[in-house]
Amino acid sequence: MYYLYILKSERTSRYYVGSTDDLVRRLQEHNAGKTPSTRNKGPWRILYSETFQTHSEARSREAKIKSWKSRAYMERVLGLGVSSGG
């Protein structure tokens, strides 16, 4: 299994979009500061995820979401942020 995931920073309210084969491990890596783009911006929590059979499907979905380039559009299409509390 592979996952597309969206994290939200509890500190900055920013989103991070990624893909992985191990969602729990990947969240731990983000929160441990092992990912340069998310370092010093956490703690992070999983806000959204989708499951795929192949890595290429997950990466394709990741690229599509990243191409939207609009936080408001992503929130509206994926139903994020509506009841996130901050």
Q: 22-73: per-residue pLDDT in tens?
A: 999 999 999 999 999 999 999 999 999 999 999 999 999 999 999 988 888 8
Cβ contact 7:31 at 8 Å = no
What pLDDT score was predicted for residue 81?
65
pTM for this predicted structure: 0.86
Query: Is the pLDDT higher at 70 or at 10?
Result: 10
Q: Output b/e per residue, 63-73; b: 16+ Cβ within 10 A.
A: eebeeeeeeee
